[in-house]
Amino acid sequence: MSNSMCLNQTSAKSEKERLQFRASERFRWHWAPVRVADTPWKIATASDPDGMLLEACQRQDAGEQGVIDPFWAAVWRASAGLDRFLESYALEGTRVLEVGCGTGRAGLSAALRGAQVTLTDGVSDPLLLVQLTVWALAQRCTVRRLRFGLDILPEKPYPLILGSDVTYLRQLWPELDRCLRQHLAAGGEVLLSDPYRIIANEFRDWIQAHGWDYREHKVVLADDPEHPIRIMQLRVR
């Protein structure tokens, strides 16, 4: 092995260690073994999402401003459904954007299937862990901050956009709509997943009224067949 290769590997290891330290300063986390795109993987995951949510609620009750609920800290089942749905897609070389990525499982699924993926979230904390999760796929993955309706990525639009459990707040729908239109390539499609929340039934009607063609698919997961995942397939009308 050449000296330059050794130096590059040492530099990469040091950078990963710095990233791990930064994440540990923010919250407790661990490596969670999962199977994504039929591949054994480890996702960097917050260790106490319930405790983090309780702390955020207490800070909000105390009147602290700008506290964001850490819903990103859990690996939601909806992302597993989206992972399963992507089995039918040929993604090699496809540019994919994941919005509201949380732990990044949907974007990771696309990357493991050969896509060039940009994983984004509106807050910075989850992006620390996502960078660790996709570290071995750095040539295929970019991790960025993207707030619905506020930020626009400089890259050209994407032919495929993914979002897992991003429709649970009505007040975010207009911003999500704007974000999707700003980043979706002409003729592209959006795949959003959710665990059949009642509010997503309302979103289905809302998004169709705002100029999107809508198709719905059901994904049954082997580990919990009684609670399927809904896939919402969207195209601009």
Question: pLDDT tens-digit profile of 8-35?
Answer: 566 677 899 999 999 999 889 999 999 9
**Domain span holding position 131:** 71-236
Is residue 11 a part of any domain in this protein?
no
Is residue 214 a part of any domain in this protein?
yes
Domain containing 176 — which CATH number? 3.40.50.150
Whether the predicted pLDDT of 66 surpasses 60: no
Is residue 147 a part of any domain in this protein?
yes
Question: pLDDT tens-digit profile of 164-215?
Answer: 999 999 999 999 999 999 999 999 999 999 999 999 999 999 999 999 999 9
Is residue 189 a part of any domain in this protein?
yes
Is residue 38 a part of any domain in this protein?
no
Is residue 224 a part of any domain in this protein?
yes
Is residue 103 a part of any domain in this protein?
yes
Is residue 58 a part of any domain in this protein?
no
**3 state SS for the chain:** CCHHHHHHHHHHHHHHHHHHHHHHHHCCEEEEEEEECCEEEEEEEECCHHHHHHHHHHHHHCCCCCCCCCHHHCCCHHHHHHHHHHHHCCCCCCEEEEECCCCCHHHHHHHHCCCEEEEEECCCHHHHHHHHHCHHHCCCEEEEECCCCCCCCCCCCEEEEEEECCCCCHHHHHHHHHHHHHHEEEEEEEEEEECCCHHHHHHHHHHHHCCEEEEEEEECCCCCCCCCEEEEEEEEC
pLDDT band at 48 (very low <50, low <70, confident <90, very high): confident
Domain total of the chain:
1
